[in-house]
Chains A and B, each alone.
Chain A
Amino acid sequence: METENQNPFQLDVGNLLAFNPFHNFPSLPTSRDELVKECLQEGTKLVQAVADSLFNLPSTEDVDGPLVKLPPPTTKLPREKHLPKPKPPTKWEEFAKKKGIKKRKKDKVVWDEQTGTWKRRFGYDRVNDDKDIPIIEAKMTDEPGEDPFAKRQDDKKKRVEKQEKNRFQNLKQAAKLGALPSHVQLAATALPITGTQVPPKKVTKDELGNVAGMAATSTASGGKFDRKLPGEKPAKKQGKHRKFLPVVEGSGIGSREKEQTENVLNKLISKHSHEILNVDKAVTMYNVKKEKKARNRKNQEGRSSSTSNELKPKKQLHKKGAKRGPGSSRKGKA
């Protein structure tokens, strides 16, 4: 019995690989079939060699069959991705190492003195919640007009912001060294523009709705036959937005315009009724005044020029028209 089996093949059981470096075809076989047969023969020998060492490995029984633990592969192949770099320690971790502070395991529930029950450390119904404090005692250092409850909330917000900032700095440091955790990405929210930075304008829901409506109706058929998305509401104002009445007067719709204008006029007149001038009365008043003035002057000048009165031009007509001017224009405007 041969104790040492010298096989000239190079075996890599981890990869189920066998390599025969000594075979060569002294002369190529003439037919294809012969070639194939010879290749298969050689292949069989190699596979048998691998199987020999494989089946002799210690095996454990499994449901489907014997399970064998493969040795690690010996052929070196290039990796597909670079080696992962270890995460650099965060600022707190460095500080803790320097001071010798060790991590302590925290319990999920904590004993709450106030209510006398076990409550969570964080989350809904937690131990030291800000909203559960009924009374805060005033200290000598407190300013009088300050709300201590609001102050507590502000302090907490500031602490949270500081923590976020520190976390961000740690991640930036890790990204610089190329060791960012795979699920975290640092994204730039805005371009680094120097000078006045204008924050991006936020569009309100109504504005978006308006724009969406405009876009939807800007098709050739006014958006009537477009397929609606699931959950899309129908347009707010359907149909024409303005209605122009026919110009020609008549019965039915034709008389509507007259009605419209009447309505408008009535509204206006009722509003400004205390200001409206009674034109006829104003005219008669003016005429009376004028006549009185003329009579006075006639009496003053009187006996000297009696004939000249008829010859004097009648100015009243012009003035009457002038008086009527603003009155008539007012009516026209209404």
Chain B
Amino acid sequence: MMKIKTPKKGRVKRELDKRAPKLVETGKKTLILQGTKTSGTLNSVLSEIYHLKKGGAVRFTRKNDNIRPFESGGETSLEFFSLKTDCSIFVYGSHSKKRPNNLVIGRMYDHHVYDLVEVGVENFKSIESFTYDKKIAPRVGSKPFIAFVGEGFENVDELKHLKEVLLDLLRGKVVENINLAGLDRAYVCTAISSNKVYLTHCALRLKKSGTVVPRMELVEVGPSMDLVVRRHRLPNEGLRKEAMKTAKDQPKKKVKNVSSDAIQGTIGKIYIPDQKVGEMALPNKAKGVKRERREAKNKDANEHASKKQKEESE
């Protein structure tokens, strides 16, 4: 016996619709969690990544013993969390003697693990250790510039994979329009050697130049760290093909009652029903209304009196 369950509240329906698969996808949410043991640097790394991605990230603070991303059975907890928080990228930090300051960055497809990259963090400098003019500090949630430097990203497999994962992690929401005044941050990733990448977060200072394009100046503000690639797991070919499928562009749905003009811009039409002002009920018994009723009553009484007189006279 089965029955149909539909949500009774509109809020629940809207949440479910938000999590449903869409044709064109906006940004992925990130899940930041940690394993059995973490070090001080790793803690600050995780909290700063959370801060950088404030709008679209979920941070778990408890330790999770049963998550081992690279082992076959150790991913079930991750998949469950991803399902419940609707996150498709996760950053898992752990610290051990063999792999100190370990970060595993992974992506999910349909809430199952798609690919993983394991990096070690070295030479970490936190946000507090940088001194800069507070006015240029980047705002939370702004879309960043991302720059990759180095031939390693082209030649070395692992670095190629890391480049893709870092792009997915750092880019934020996918938007169609962008406000040029709100560009204030940039990530720079340089391949120092065949397995080391220097990642830093900078604020942008736009300086006046002769042309429309301002001159860019980068000032290091945010965390900077060295990432040493340790292990990685590429997705299977079939899964990769399926995940890379895109829908053909569909014609956008026409919005009703909106038209745009070159002179006036966007015009909207609002339809209001006729207001019958005479038949509306007054909310407070205004003094005028009371007097009307009183006068009407008096008039009736007078009429009665006059009628009686008439009868009497008759």
Hey, which bits of chain A sit against chain B, CB under 8 A?
A: 15-25, 28, 32, 35-36, 38-40, 42-44, 46-48, 50-52, 54-56, 59, 62, 64-70, 73, 75-84, 167-168, 171-172, 182-190, 192
A51 in contact with B1 (CB, 8 Å): no
Neighbouring A residues of B295 by C-beta, 8 Å: none
CB distance from B155 to the nearest CB of A (A): 9
Q: Which one of A21, A47, A81, A189 lies within 8 Å of B154 (CB-CB)?
A: A21
B-side contacts of A43, CB under 8 Å: 147, 149, 186, 188, 190, 200, 202, 218
Contacts of A186 in B (CB 8 A): 2-5
A55→B178 contact, CB < 8 A: no
Given A184-B6, A186-B4, the answer on whether A70 and B177 have CB atoms closer than 8 Å is: yes
**Do A188 and B200 touch across chains, with their CB atoms under 8 A apart?**
no
Q: Which residues of B contact A36 (CB under 8 A)?
A: 198, 200, 220, 224
In the complex, what distance in Å separates the CA atom of A300 from the CA atom of B1?
A: 95
Query: Which of B13-21, B95-103, B133-141 forms part of the interface with chain A?
Result: B13-21
Alpha-carbon separation in the docked complex, A82 to B247 (Å): 11
Given known contacts A15-B171, A43-B149, is B242 in contact with A82 (CB within 8 Å)?
yes
B200 touches A78 (CB 8 A): no
Which chain B positions have C-beta within 8 A of A185? 4-6
Q: Within the assembled complex, what's the spacing in Å between the Cα atoms of A84 and B24?
A: 10
Cβ–Cβ contact A64 & B181, under 8 A: yes
Determine which of A15, A18, A80, A189 lies in contact with B88 in the assembled complex, contact meaning CB atoms within 8 Å.
A80
Q: Is the CB of A51 within 8 A of B7?
A: no
> CB distance B3 to A187 under 8 Å?
yes
Given contacts A42-B149, A43-B218, A82-B110, whether A188 and B2 have CB atoms under 8 Å apart is yes
Given the known interface contacts A16-B145, A20-B149, the answer about A70 and B175 at a Cβ–Cβ threshold of 8 Å is yes
Give the interface segment out of B37-45, B207-215, B297-305.
Answer: B207-215
Q: Tell me if A's interface is mostly helix, strand, loop or mixed.
A: mixed
B240 and A78 within 8 A (CB): yes
Q: Which of A15, A167, A182 contacts B19 (CB 8 A)?
A: A182
| B178 & A68 in contact (Cβ 8 Å cutoff) | yes
- Contact, CB under 8 Å: B245 / A83: yes
Q: A22, A40, A54, A55: which contacts B202 (Cβ < 8 A)?
A: A40
Does B108 make an interface contact (CB < 8 A)? yes
Are A19's CB and B148's CB within 8 A? yes
Contact for A51 among B13, B88, B190, B213, CB less than 8 A: B213
**Chain B residues within 8 Å of chain A by Cβ, number:** 78
Determine if B21 and A84 form an interchain contact, defined as CB atoms under 8 angstroms apart. yes
* Chain A residue contacts of B188, Cβ below 8 A: 39-40, 42-43, 46
Q: Which of B16, B152, B174, B220 contacts A183 (CB 8 A)?
A: B16
Residue ID in chain B nearest A40 by CB atoms? B218
Give CA–CA (A109, B279) in the complex, Å.
21
Q: Does B192 contact A (CB under 8 A)?
A: yes
Interface of B is mostly: mixed
Q: Are A17 and B167 in contact (CB under 8 A)?
A: yes
Shortest distance from the beta carbon of B206 to any chain A beta carbon, whole Å = 8
Cβ of B107 under 8 Å from chain A: yes
B164, CB-defined interface residue at 8 Å: yes
Closest 3 pairs (CB-CB, A-B): A65-B181, A182-B20, A43-B188
Query: Known contacts A40-B188, A64-B181, A66-B181: does B150 contact A79 (CB below 8 Å)?
Result: no
A47 touching B215, Cβ below 8 Å: no
CB-contacts of B156-186 with A (<8 A): 163-164, 167-168, 171, 174-183, 186
B53 to chain A: which residues have CB within 8 Å? Answer: none
Query: Which chain A residues lie closer than 8 Å to B12 at the CB level?
Result: 183
Partner of B150, one of A17, A24, A52, A56: A24
Q: Are B213 and A182 in contact (CB under 8 A)?
A: no
Roughly how many angstroms separate A114 CA and B4 CA in the complex, as a whole number?
A: 38
In the complex, which of the residues B147, B176, B192, B212 contacts A25, with contact meaning CB atoms closer than 8 Å? B192
Contact A188-B1, Cβ < 8 Å, known A21-B154, A64-B179, A84-B23 = yes
A25 (CB) vs chain B CBs: closest residue: B192
A and B contact pairs by CB, cutoff 8 A, 8 listed: A16-B145, A18-B147, A47-B218, A56-B213, A70-B176, A76-B246, A79-B25, A84-B20
Contacts of B182 in A (CB 8 A): 64-65
Are A39 and B177 closer than 8 Å at their CB atoms? no
Contact B198 A39 (CB under 8 A): yes
User: How far is the CB of A241 from the nearest CB of chain B, in Å?
Assistant: 42
Q: Which chain B residue lies CB-closest to A186?
A: B2
Give, as a whole number of angstroms, the nearest-CB distance from B297 to chain A: 32
* B93 in the interface (beta carbon within 8 A): no
- Which of A46, A48, A76, A83 has a CB less than 8 Å from the CB of B247? A83
What's the nearest-Cβ distance from chain A to residue B130, in Å? 11
Which chain A residue has the least Cβ–Cβ distance from B180? A66
The residues of B that contact A70 with a CB separation of less than 8 Å are 175-178
Chain B residues lying within 8 Å of A19, measured Cβ to Cβ, are 147-148, 153, 163
For B120, the chain A residues whose CB sits under 8 A away are: none
A31: shortest Cβ distance to chain B, in Å? 13
B16 to chain A, nearest CB (A): 5
Q: Is B109 an interface residue (CB 8 A)?
A: yes
Q: Are B17 and A182 in contact, with the CB atoms below 8 A?
A: yes
* B28 at the binding interface (Cβ < 8 Å): yes
A44 touches B25 (CB 8 A): no
Is B146 an interface position by the 8 A CB rule? yes
Instruction: Compute how far the CA of A55 lies from the CA of B3 in the bound complex, rounded to whole angstroms.
Output: 56
CB distance from A221 to the nearest CB of B (A): 35
| B144 closest partner in A (C-beta) | A16
Chain A residues near B152: list those with CB within 8 A: 24
